[in-house]
Structure 1
Amino acid sequence: MSQRERQAGAFIQGLLIEKQCDYDAFYHLTFLLRNNILLPVFSSASRIVGSHGKPGAQLQVGKNYHLLLLIRPRQLKYRSEGESGGASSRLGLVALALRQIARDARGVSGERVILQHHPVAGRIIDPDWEWEKQRYILVETAIGRAVLNRKAAEDDLKGRGGELTAGGLLEWELWRSELLAILDGSGA
């Protein structure tokens, strides 16, 4: 078992329940996580490391995956370990109500509301984590481990990037999550 496979259990795991493709290059994926949490994930065809062809096409609805997600935050805020104290309760999710028109074979059958969830905070595990020769900030969120782009975070924090330490808390406004890699690749 590789180091990647051993660590996969700490990362976000979900059942792919919906896959939509735009322009044969951008995938909108929906994963069902534990506790009936629906997580929308964006993926471009060239993003998944180690894939052959279009990675979104390789993912199969109805299969479980361990995901390495790249969080794209807005208005990132940092609290050092001393400032955040016992703030593990802050590692929450935000649910957004997404309204869709439900259709059946006869046409429109009405409106449905789906709650989509997004992580909005993470405890820093490693402020300078390397993956595929890129630098990230590894965080523990309410749904598992994910990463933030190190350079973008430093820019957003306006000079506080050098202060980032393990145990500190990053909080952000909701934006989106991108699929960086499938960690187990098995889809079992």
Structure 2
Amino acid sequence: MSQREQQQAQAGAFIHGLLIEKQCDYDAFYHLTFLLGNSILLPVFSSASRIVGARGAPGPQLQVGRSYHLLLLMRPRQLKYRGMGEGAGKPGLVALALRQVARDARGVSGERIVLQHHPVSGRIIDPDWEWEHQRYILVETAIGRAVLNRKAAQDDLKERAGELAAGSLLEWELWRSELLAVLDGARPGSS
């Protein structure tokens, strides 16, 4: 079994969600919203040119109402390393309440509050994980496995970058998560 086939066989450990909203800007950038278990709404950014699926499906092929296993690239503002002996907590989520204007066919129909969730920490599974000939840090978050850019992490952590080890915790401030790959084919909406 190839490395990619092994990674796809482990897709169940990665983030799994139902695509409930898909907005496109400039025919290349997508703002996706996935509904995860426990009513968690996860916003995800994607560039159609970067997404690689099990069948080579690009971002435009993602369909609202279908479930996907996702390989997400977490893009933190500030990354902090907590070694195993530093009293680090469990991987967590933070929720942000966003005000949005709801529109219908007649125009504006009022405001709504949308509670979006973002992973803010992850336990390192593999500090030097490979995907599509790129090196990442594989982490277990509160919602499933995701990756961090290894080079960006080294820049943030500076002298502590050499200490990265499986079992340690990384914490970050929110910025965004990007869709790096769809790990399996789409399945009809039931999770």
TM-score grouping bracket, smaller chain normalisation: over 0.9
- Encode CA deviations 1:4-40: one digit per residue, 9 max, x unaligned: 3321000000000000000001000000000000000
Give, as a single letter, the amino acid of the residue that structure 1 aligns with 2:149: N
% identical equivalent positions:
81
Matches within 5 A, 1:174-185: 174-185=174-185
For this pair of structures, how many residues does the alignment match? 184
> Distance in 1 between the 2:136 and 2:87 partners?
21
> Distance in 2 between the 1:117 and 1:96 partners?
6
> Distance in 2 between the 1:98 and 1:37 partners?
14
State the 1:158 CA deviation: 1.5
Which residue in 2 is equivalent to 1:153? 153
Give, as a single letter, the amino acid of the residue that structure 1 aligns with 2:96: L
Structure 1 stretches of 4+ with a deviation exceeding 6 A read none
State the 1:137 CA deviation: 0.3
Superposed CA RMSD: 1.5
Which residue in 1 is equivalent to 2:14? 11
> Distance in 2 between the 1:52 and 1:131 partners?
15
> Distance in 2 between the 1:43 and 1:80 partners?
31
Q: Unpaired segments of 5 or more residues in structure 2? A: none
Give, as a single letter, the amino acid of the residue that structure 1 aligns with 2:72: L
Deviates more, 1:91-100 or 1:13-22: 91-100
Of 30, 33, 42, 1:27 maps to 30
Which residue in 2 is equivalent to 1:139? 139
> Distance in 2 between the 1:84 and 1:131 partners?
31
State the 1:105 CA deviation: 1.9
- Encode CA deviations 1:86-118: one digit per residue, 9 max, x unaligned: x22xx1111111111111122111100001110
> Distance in 2 between the 1:140 and 1:98 partners?
26
Could you say what secondary structure the match of 2:78 adopts? strand
Which residue in 2 is equivalent to 1:171? 171
Which residue in 2 is equivalent to 1:72? 75
State the 1:123 CA deviation: 0.4
Give, as a single letter, the amino acid of the residue that structure 2 aligns with 1:159: E
Which residue in 2 is equivalent to 1:121? 121
Contact 1:84 1:169 in 2 (8 A): no
> Distance in 1 between the 2:187 and 2:61 partners?
10
Which residue in 1 is equivalent to 2:92? 92
State the 1:52 CA deviation: 5.0
State the 1:186 CA deviation: 3.2
Q: Unpaired segments of 5 or more residues in structure 1? A: none
Which residue in 2 is equivalent to 1:58? 61
Q: TM-score, normalised by structure 1?
A: 0.93
Could you say what secondary structure the match of 1:155 adopts? helix
> Distance in 1 between the 2:158 and 2:8 partners?
35
Which residue in 2 is equivalent to 1:130? 130
